[in-house]
Structure 1
Amino acid sequence: MRTSRFLAALGGVVAAASLSACSLSAPKAEPVFHAPASPTPTASAESGEAAGAEAPATTGIRQVLKIAQLAGLAPLLVNAKGRTIYRFDGDSNDPPATACVEDCLKTWQPVLAPNGVEVDAGIEEDLVGTVERPDGNKQLTLNGWPMYYFHEDLSLGQTAGYGTGDAWFPMSPTGGRAEKVNDDPAPAKKPQVLRIAEVDGLSPEIVVNAKGRTIYRFEKDDNSPSRTTCAGECLKTWQPVLAPNGVEVGDGVDEDLVGVIKRPDGSRQVTLRGWPLYYFHKDLRLGQIAGHGVKGQWFAITAGGGKAQKKSTSSGGTNSEGTGTY
């Protein structure tokens, strides 16, 4: 550690420094008091409590702030034991204020420093301060942003709180968000796969994905030109077959019949002979065809884009035409 910095205990000998408590209405974070570095150990305890030395007029555990580099994340702030420190977008840093109270505190634990704080190299001393919480505790801030731990980070290096509510993020060494990064070259993204398979109860062979999930067409759609009519409530039952990384066809599927259309949400839906393709939400196991015949409008699709037909003696558990939820 290159610097030792201590918060004065209430009624301590540093009262002459005229420390003004910072609350939700305070104009700025309370600065952390400076003290000469001491040769004391810095092994940390969990909630803000690194094993420490005597602060002026008090003996106790002091908080430690360090910088860590975890796989997949930009440099972030941790305590001496490596526990990840977070910030909350619902808070304010100008003026510093915490919005995490009551039920929020069951999940997020303020980083406190009743006996001072030490900062590691790379953390700007002048950015570290405190804000007084409604219960009177002094919560550490960085560039005005209050600091927290996530209750489910049980092991060192965990970041289980990342992105919670789209508002909680590990804190960077300057108080910002520690965003996700790709340390390694991006793995090749797999294309969508269309292949054919023989399924009990239907004839001829039908189109499935790489894992064998049945693919369907919808009679209310158009194939010339291609157009999807499945939106809103329909999407709770039928999932468009998407191809963000292209399409790969297996034996038996004519690649010249395969295309894509742009859906209203901007995603790219695969088509076969112009027909938009879908999965049925109740097909939970490979080879299932529970969506075939639903409302007399949904059918497993063949390699040529046609409708598969039921065999006269079916051993599979298919839906009867006209049944189903949509």
Structure 2
Amino acid sequence: MLIYLKKNLLAIACIAMTFTACKKNSSEEPTTPSASNNKGIQLAADAKFGTVLTDKDGKTLYFFSSDAAGVPTCTGGCETTWPLYYSADASTDLNLNKSEVGEVIRADGRKQSTYRGYPLYYFANDTAKGDVKGDGVGGIWFVAKPDYSLMLANAQLSGNSVNYTSTYTIGDGKTIYLTDSKGRTLYAFAPDKNGVNTYTKGVAQEGIWPVYESEALNVPSAVTKTDIGVITVAVINKKQLTYKGWPLYYYVPDVKRGDNQGFLVGKTPGSVWPVLQLNTTIAPAQ
């Protein structure tokens, strides 16, 4: 009987020790962060678009080409389809470039989160986590991504207090044209050839028309990626992005994003330094 009791006590002691050890080990193991702990803007992988921006719950965010100047222009009824996104929380995503995150105060006083200066929106028809149904709507709404090489502006061409149409005649009307990833207007130089920069003669001469340096990464879905290329401008040792063979340039007097007055340089508007529209013809061969 004594031997039986000793065996039982030993078994109970072993069970207690095992339970204590398991409990201790469990508390010391690192916990894996869950989606419920996310705050602010997040990065998510999409099978079609690659890395995209989402809110903390994984709902897709969008850029609006009409906001190229960094000012929210989706107001009134537009907001029913494209509700604004705002979060006061700093992003918990370690892979997100926090310096690109900001906010803007709308005309009605509400705050809206931005990325690379673009106000961020939801698409009302995205009903499930990971939906990207809003991309390409109207040719001016695009999934928000952190790695676009180019973006599209949908804006009024204007210079010297005069408005111009997409055909460079005086008049009102928005034009869709290429910008860099932060909304700065890009131009072509009419005498250039396909894949050949004929303007830049040296660093000093680059002057008010610097080349647009970029790698061919990602572009909005309205842009055909095979139309994008990269050339080397040997005289200044820089890589220059091209669209349909046209080397791309900035215009220094465009002092802020959304400015697009460079098309006025030359004898007639758009004849020497046109903006790059999607229907631009392929640059001529040498």
TM bin (shorter chain) = 0.3 to 0.5
TM-score w.r.t. structure 2 length? 0.39
Give the helix-richer structure, 1 or 2: 2
TM-score w.r.t. structure 1 length? 0.34
Structure showing greater Rg: 1
